[in-house]
Structure 1
Amino acid sequence: MAETIAFLGVARIQDQAILATCYEKSVLNEEKKNYEGALASALERAKSAYPGWRDRASCDEGVLYTFADPQALCLLAVGIRDAQYPERVAVQLLREMADKVRNSQGDELLLEAKSGSLSKPLRKLMMDTMRTYNDAGAQDKTTEVREKVDQLKGIMQDNVKKILETHVTLESLENSSSSMSSQANKFLKQSVDLRRQVPKHQLHDCGF
């Protein structure tokens, strides 16, 4: 039985150089051409990619997912034979692979490497990734939990932001109230001083 993960690739976005590719052993030439063509098209669309940019394209009977690393230096690609494979698991695979590729090769090498020169150095890493993610069900649970944690973190950050904004608003109101109170006290004091300075008969004539 053919494996689900058929292809992994690493390409440099700036000049569209495909630095490394790895195919599952049962992939035939026609299937290879399909994935390579889909990756070339994705690189065209990724010319102005930003960190975390994603793309999905049908590829024969499968799907090619691509993802721009956190530096938008490289585009990571995975070719999957099963069109029903969960997208979030595919994206998690690409995120992990992006981290591993950068940690193992370094930014300088990724910037200077020639086309195809990293296929051998990254082969074991990519083969291990294929094996790990071939069973989407096992990975889906892990990814789901991770996404829920990220969502919870986002909600907590929003709540903290709202609390801080409310605090600033209350502080502004308190400052405004304090300023008005100070101005009122100053006015009253000036009124009292004025009354002391004006002769009584003049105050009586003014109705005081």
Structure 2
Amino acid sequence: MAETIVFLGVARIQDQAVLATCYEKNVLNEEKKAYETALAAALDRAKTAYPGWRESRPLDSDDRASCESGILYTFADPQALCLLAVGIRDADYPERVAVQLLRELADKARNSQGDEVLLEAKSGSLSKPLRKLMTDMMRTYNDAGAHDKTTEVREKVDQLKGIMQDNVKKILETHVTLESLEDSSSSMSSQANKFLKQSVDLRRQIQFRNLKIKALFGTCVAAVILYIAMPFIN
């Protein structure tokens, strides 16, 4: 039975140096050349790759003559320092499992070698140090079914985390909105109280003015009556 995963590679994005490669032991030279050509093309497209950048491309028609249905998956590590690549013969191999493989390869390569080595290593110099690591990963991930469920659960967890973060954001936005409404309500209440107080003061002023008018009118009437009555009183 032919192996599904036939190639793993680690390359530096900045200068397109291929730091390490690993092939399935029975792979033919033509197939090796096909994946090397595909990786070189991917590196050229990844010159401005961002962290997490990824793509999957079938081998060019000229290369498929030597490998019937080869696909090259590539992934930029979280620092956009290295481009990780995996060559897979099976066109039905789940992409999410291939990406999980590359994420794991990125973590292990960085943890085992360190950023400084990955930055300064020469082309091909890490093939030997990383060979056992990459060989073990090729063997482990050769059966996609063993990882598909785990990867699917992890993706669902990530989706759930995203939903929870969105909900928390909405709650916080709602809280801010409620605070704004409370502030507006408090301001309106204060203005209403102020208006009510001014209304009461105005009503008292009007009542006091009416009393003054009534008192003045009464005084005038009394004066007129007294003036008219003076001759009779005398």
| Bin for the TM-score computed over the shorter chain | over 0.9
Whichever residue aligns with residue 109 of structure 1, its letter is V
Q: Map residues 25-44 of structure 1 onto 2, 5 A cutoff.
A: 25-44=25-44
Does 2:112 match 1:104? Answer: yes
Whichever residue aligns with residue 29 of structure 2, its letter is N
Matched position secondary structure for 1:138: helix
Whichever residue aligns with residue 63 of structure 1, its letter is I
Aligned length: 204
Does 2:103 match 1:95? Answer: yes
Whichever residue aligns with residue 107 of structure 2, its letter is D
**Cα distance in 1 for residues equivalent to 2:187 and 2:135:** 69
Q: CA deviation at 1:194?
A: 4.2
Q: Map residues 3-18 of structure 1 onto 2, 5 A cutoff.
A: 3-18=3-18
Q: Which residue of 2 aligns with 1:115?
A: 123
Q: Which residue of 2 aligns with 1:190?
A: 198
More moved, 183-192 vs 58-67: 183-192
**Cα distance in 2 for residues equivalent to 1:82 and 1:18:** 24
**Cα distance in 2 for residues equivalent to 1:69 and 1:83:** 24
Q: CA deviation at 1:187?
A: 2.3
Q: CA deviation at 1:57?
A: 1.1
Q: Deviations over 1:3-54 (max 9, x none)?
A: 1110000001111111100011011111111000000010111111111101
**Cα distance in 2 for residues equivalent to 1:140 and 1:118:** 29
Q: Map residues 128-147 of structure 1 onto 2, 5 A cutoff.
A: 128-147=136-155
**Cα distance in 1 for residues equivalent to 2:55 and 2:105:** 16
Whichever residue aligns with residue 200 of structure 1, its letter is R
Matched position secondary structure for 1:121: helix
Residue ranges of structure 1 left out of the alignment (5+ in a row) = none
Q: CA deviation at 1:153?
A: 1.4
How high is the sequence identity, in percent, across the aligned residues?
A: 85
Matched position secondary structure for 1:111: helix
Q: CA deviation at 1:188?
A: 2.1
Q: Which residue of 2 aligns with 1:48?
A: 48
Matched position secondary structure for 1:10: strand
Q: Which residue of 2 aligns with 1:200?
A: 209
Q: CA deviation at 1:203?
A: 10
- Alignment RMSD (CA, Å): 1.7
**Cα distance in 1 for residues equivalent to 2:212 and 2:198:** 15
Q: Deviations over 1:64-99 (max 9, x none)?
A: 000000011100000001111111100000011111
Q: Give the number of the structure whose alpha-carbon radius of gyration is greater.
A: 2
**Cα distance in 1 for residues equivalent to 2:202 and 2:119:** 79
More moved, 31-40 vs 156-165: 156-165
Whichever residue aligns with residue 79 of structure 2, its letter is Q
